[in-house]
């Protein structure tokens, strides 16, 4: 299990500080960023412009704390309560494989450059995959239960720094 | 860019042959499978049972053809037409980083075992991440355009073998 991943591109955003980066693209839908696909992969974009949304899969290469991630963490959104959850019940960035999953709206595709809306990534984050959003596959029926997220408000554009509380400054996750 | 990924678990399904494996979990929602989380990571499941759906991120370790994937491919669903698309406009398994993204319904979580519904994976596929489905983040508003998928029917449980056509047997993708 040691296959390396390879970067197919890089994300450019205005964000430089994890504490001041919105916790999710889907909760910060207005802000724009760009994705530059590396030259060897540009041909793979053919047909993408016909989709309104895409999944951006990234390698979250700048954790807020060094070392292996804890398997239970206080999500950013629960900092004020200090409540811990298993990492696989959170969307936080510190994971055994730090893969980010961001739902972005495709604004345009020009050559190797994709302009998108929905920013939750630091500038310079490497991209490992890009998949079109397909409602038939990606939208569950009805109103599914979303665990602890059903009990918290997620204001548009909220960042970890906005959620300071008893746990502020400690490693957290969405 | 040579960070290795690590398997956090393994999927068990009844499927042994890619040609006879449904093309997407979200288009095969009734079939059940299990996910065994490897022992060091089990603590990370705390809180997951409160969610109806999760994203299963896998490493698609058994490509249908050897060697580096082509950047344009005939999706399984377009085999009858032979139409090629860029790999990043498809959901196919042969990608620069062969990461699968499956939306599964969580049936129960017991110790290290998750029983789920929604099967599009071969038995034994390694899991690299597991994230809860959060409607606030993962559901775009309205009825987004889904490119070429808007022009094809995706019958429940359809497999590549069901889609034989001029391109049958050739490397394909969803």
What pLDDT is recorded for position A133? 98
Q: Residue A174 domain-assigned? A: no
CA distance B11 to B36: 6
In a domain, A40, yes or no: yes
B170, pLDDT greater than 70: no
State yes or no: pLDDT of B2 exceeds 60: no
Tell me, what DSSP letter sits at residue A51?
A: B
Task: Give the HSE-up count for residue A110: Cα atoms under 13 Å, Cβ half-sphere.
Answer: 5
Phi then psi dihedrals of residue A8, to 5 deg? -95, -10
Q: Assess whether pLDDT exceeds 50 at residue A141.
A: yes
Average pLDDT, chain A: 92
Give the pLDDT band of residue B63 (cuts 50, 70, 90).
confident
Say whether pLDDT at A66 is over 60.
yes
Residues of A in contact with B3 (CB under 8 A): 4-5, 59
B4 within some domain: no
Tell me: the pLDDT tens digits for A81-114?
999 999 999 999 999 999 999 999 999 999 999 9
Residue A21: pLDDT over 80: yes
CA distance B47 to B139: 21
Asked whether residue B68 is assigned to any structural domain, the reply reads yes
Contact A106, A60 (CB under 8 A): no
Beta strands in B28-150 (DSSP E): 32-37, 53-59, 72-75, 85-86, 99-110, 113-117, 126-132
Strand order in the sheet with B72-75: B85-86, B72-75, B172-173
Q: Average pLDDT, stretch B137-141? A: 96
Q: Around Cβ A45, how many Cβ atoms within 10 Å?
A: 25
The pLDDT of B37-51, averaged and rounded, is: 98
- Interface confidence, given as ipTM, is 0.93
A45 to chain B, any CB pair closer than 8 A? The answer is yes
The C-alpha atoms of residue B89 and residue B86 are separated, in whole angstroms, by 5
Mean pLDDT to the nearest integer, A33-38:
98
Count the domains in chain B: 1
Residue B3 lies in a domain: no
Q: Does B68 touch chain A (CB under 8 A)?
A: no
Query: What is the average pLDDT score of chain B?
Result: 92
A67 touching B (Cβ < 8 Å): no
Residue B2 domain-assigned? no
Is A171 inside any structural domain? no
**Is residue A167 pLDDT above 80, yes or no?**
no
- The rounded percent of chain B whose pLDDT value lies above 90 is 84
Domain around B75: 9-173
The CATH number given to whatever domain includes residue B126 is 2.40.30.70
Q: Is residue A2 part of a domain?
A: no
């Amino acid at each position: 299990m040691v296959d390396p991943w390879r970067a197919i591109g890089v994300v450019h955003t205005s964000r430089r500080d994890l504490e001041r980066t919105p916790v999710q693209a889907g909760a910060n839908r207005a802000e724009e960023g760009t994705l530059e696909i590396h030259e060897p992969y540009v041909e793979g974009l053919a047909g993408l412009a016909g989709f309104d949304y895409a999944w951006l899969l990234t390698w979250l290469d700048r954790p807020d704390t060094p070392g292996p991630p804890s398997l239970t963490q206080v999500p950013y959104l629960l900092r004020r309560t200090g409540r811990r959850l298993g990492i696989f019940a959170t969307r936080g960035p510190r994971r055994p494989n730090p893969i980010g999953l961001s739902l972005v709206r495709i604004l345009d595709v020009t050559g190797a450059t994709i302009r998108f809306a929905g920013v939750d990534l630091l500038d310079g984050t490497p991209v490992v995959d890009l998949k079109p959003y397909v409602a038939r596959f990606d939208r569950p029926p009805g109103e599914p239960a979303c665990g602890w997220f059903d009990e918290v408000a997620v204001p548009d554009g909220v960042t970890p720094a906005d959620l300071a509380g008893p746990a502020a400054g400690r490693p957290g996750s969405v």
